[in-house]
Amino acid sequence: MSKHILLVGGGSGGHVFPLIAVAEALKTADSSTRIMMLGDGPFLAEACAAAGLKYKRIHSGKLRRYFDLRNLLVPFQSFIGLLQSLWILFWFMPDAVLTKGGAVAVMPALAARLYAIRVYTHESDAVPGLANRVIGKFAKLIFVSFESTAKYFKEGRAVLSGLPIRPGILSGSKEEALQKFNLRGDRKTILVAGGSQGAKRINDLILDSLISFVKTYQIIHQCGQGQLPEVKKTVERYGESPEIQANYRLFPFFDSGEMALAYAAADVVISRGGASNLFEISALGKPAIIIPLSLAASRGDQIDNAKEFQTYGGIMMEEENITPALVLNQLQELLEPDRYREVSLKIKSFAKLDAASHISQILLS
């Protein structure tokens, strides 16, 4: 009899892509496995449609850690989410549930607990978020990406799995990538990856000294869909610069295939400190400059991630202190041949390429 596995998550690519990777590993391990995705947000719906996965949407209440009138709605939204979860789980009746944390995961995990279904959760970041701290109290196992994360959970319950990454990310061809982006093979290429939502501070950093960057490097700039109009306006102010036209490529967002090619073309990556970004970069052995979200704009999870990644050769720069000159200097140092080889090897040791397979085997056991 085929197994039924429920995967729960939503929000940004950092929560969605690892679940897609686990779903692919489950189908590879046992093609008869029935998989359902549960969560919210257009990003998850689009990813499930692209992967051919069954998807159900539920309501969730996100508790904001500051005064916000929307917090008054959280109990009602959560209660609706619990009722939806109980109903969906009753009819699907999974053998195991894997959540990816986040507010949307709490009610399905609780519903599974009420049905005595095995609950597992995965924590991407070095320091767990509130949802996984709650789910971790009754989950059978907590899969963690960073070894240091285990201390936040009951002894023996955390399993170091690494972060599942999309298999296709590793398959990009450099020759094909240079052709797609119309770039030269004899010039170093920098990928500026702001994630699915973009990163305004990183966009501004590149745009403020765009001429300086393109004089030396080819730039593939993924700026985020919501920030595309503003970025395009700024680029247009430079006028008909031959160097920008030759060496600058602007994109709002990459799908998995395009992201694989962008990574393949890149010699160095400039990125936020989201765990998915770090594990993809490390799997490819790409030297990287990591600019995590500041404490003013986050709970500090990206800073903790970047600090761990730094021990494997990544360069961490705080966004409050970065300047184009500092970044250009770091790029020059990273691209020195001996330094480049050393950092590439060290960063690759951070990756755990079997993460999705490891998790899928436990879910199917």
Under 8 Å between Cβ of 289 and 268: yes
Could you tell me if residue 265 is inside a domain?
Answer: yes
Residues 244 and 113 in one domain: no
Among 284, 301, 283, residue whose Cα is nearest residue 292:
301
218 annotated ligand binder: no
Confidence of residue 38 (pLDDT cuts 50, 70, 90): very high
Could you tell me if residue 214 is inside a domain?
Answer: yes
CATH of the domain at 22: 3.40.50.2000
Mean pLDDT computed over 35-47: 89
13 annotated ligand binder: yes
Q: Which residue has the higher pLDDT, 1 or 244?
A: 244
Mean pLDDT computed over 336-341: 96
Could you tell me if residue 356 is inside a domain?
Answer: no
Residues 83 and 194 in one domain: no
Any residues with CB less than 8 A from the CB of 159 and at least 6 apart, and which? 141, 142, 143, 144, 362
The token pair at 292 is 């995590």
Mean pLDDT computed over 163-177: 90
Entry pTM: 0.89
Mean pLDDT computed over 154-173: 91
pLDDT(75) > 80: no
| Boundary of a domain, candidates 160, 183, 212 | 160
Residues 267 and 195 in one domain: yes
Residues 181 and 317 in one domain: yes
- Residue recorded with tokens 């080819």: 218
Could you tell me if residue 355 is inside a domain?
Answer: no
The per-residue pLDDT of the chain, averaged, comes to: 91
The token pair at 240 is 């008909």
Q: Please name the helix (run of DSSP H) or strand (run of DSSP E) that holds residue 16, with its range, or none.
A: helix 13-29
Give residue 88's pLDDT. 97
Q: Specify burial of residue 105 (Cβ count, 10 A radius: 0-12, 13-18, 19+).
A: buried
CA distance 87 to 110: 13
Mean pLDDT computed over 153-181: 93
Could you tell me if residue 360 is inside a domain?
Answer: no
271 annotated ligand binder: no
Give tens-digit pLDDT for 108-139.
999 999 999 999 999 999 999 889 999 999 99
pLDDT(62) > 80: no
| Boundary of a domain, candidates 127, 160, 193 | 160
Give residue 5's pLDDT. 98
| Boundary of a domain, candidates 124, 140, 160 | 160
Which residues partner with 315 through β-bridges? 289
Residues 70 and 16 in one domain: yes
Terminal C-alpha separation, the chain = 13
Give residue 65's pLDDT. 59
12 annotated ligand binder: yes
List phi, psi (to 5°) of 85. Answer: -65, -45
Exposure string (b/e) for 58-70, b if CB count within 10 Å is 16 or more?
bbbbbeeeeeeee
14 annotated ligand binder: yes
List phi, psi (to 5°) of 249. Answer: -125, 120
Residues 143 and 249 in one domain: no
Mean pLDDT computed over 198-208: 87
198 annotated ligand binder: no
pLDDT(256) > 70: yes
Give residue 178's pLDDT. 96
Confidence of residue 43 (pLDDT cuts 50, 70, 90): confident
Mean pLDDT computed over 17-39: 95
Under 8 Å between Cβ of 314 and 306: yes
Residues 133 and 172 in one domain: no
pLDDT(41) > 90: no
For residue 111, give its domain range.
4-160
Q: Specify burial of residue 245 (Cβ count, 10 A radius: 0-12, 13-18, 19+).
A: exposed
Give residue 297's pLDDT. 64
Q: Please name the helix (run of DSSP H) or strand (run of DSSP E) that holds residue 281, with its range, or none.
A: helix 275-284
Which residues partner with 15 through β-bridges? none
Structural domain count, the chain: 2
Mean pLDDT computed over 298-321: 89
Give tens-digit pLDDT for 243-253.
999 999 999 98
Mean pLDDT computed over 300-322: 91
